[in-house]
Amino acid sequence: MSPTPDPAFAGRTYPSGPVHVVSGAKIAEFARATGATDAVHTDETAARAAGHAGLVAPPTFLVSLAQSTEAAYIEDPAAGIDFSRVVHGEEGFELHRPVVAGDRLVPTLTVESIRAAGGHTMITTRVDVADEAGQSVAAVRSVIVVRGE
C-alpha cells in the first residue's frame, strides 16, 4: 500500500451496492439512540396519520448505509488508504424524500475529490441513494481525513 491515497481515484464511481431493505425496527432503534423524539420515527400509527407508508427515518439514518458503501473504496488496496490513519471530517445529507420502513434502497459511491492539505489527504465521497426504480432518494457526502506521517 502506498503511504498516501492515490489521487487517480478522484472521480471514480463504484458499481452500485446491493439492495438495502429499511427496517422499521432499525428506524426506531436509530431514533432512540439519537434522541429523535418525533412519533413518526417510533409509532407506526403516528407515521401513517402523517401520510407516510411506515415509520419515517430521521434525516441522518442513512449514515450507516453510506459508511458501509464507502468501505468499497476505503478497503480497496489500490486506493492506498491506511484505515488506521483515517479521521472522520464531516457528513452532509441531501434528502429528496423521506426514507420510510420498507424502502428498498440502492447505494452508489463516487469519490468526488482527493486533495492534499497540510500533510494530510482530504477525501470527499458521495453516496447516491436511489430506490429500486432508480428514483433518487438522497445523497450523503462525507469528508474523511487520512493523516499524514
Q: Beta strand pairing status for 104-117 and 20-21?
A: antiparallel
Phi–psi pair at 17, nearest 5 degrees: -80, 180
pLDDT in tens, 48-95: 999 999 999 999 999 999 999 999 999 999 999 999 999 999 999 999
H helices of 1-149, in order, are 24-34, 44-49, 63-74
Calculate mean pLDDT across residues 29-47: 97
Write out the CATH class of domain 7-22+58-147.
Answer: alpha beta
- Whether this prediction's pTM lies above 0.85 is answered by yes
3-class DSSP assignment, residue 34: helix
pLDDT in tens, 69-79: 999 999 999 99
Please state the domain extents for the chain.
Answer: 7-22+58-147
pLDDT at 4: 84
Closest by CA position to 65, among listed 41, 95, 44: 95
Calculate mean pLDDT across residues 100-121: 96
3-class DSSP assignment, residue 45: helix
Q: Write b or e for each residue in 53-89: b if 16 or more Cβ atoms lie within 10 A of its Cβ, otherwise e.
A: ebbbbbeebbbebbbebbeebbeeeebbbeeebbeee
- CA dist 124 and 89 (Å) reads 9
Is pLDDT of 1 > 50?
Answer: no
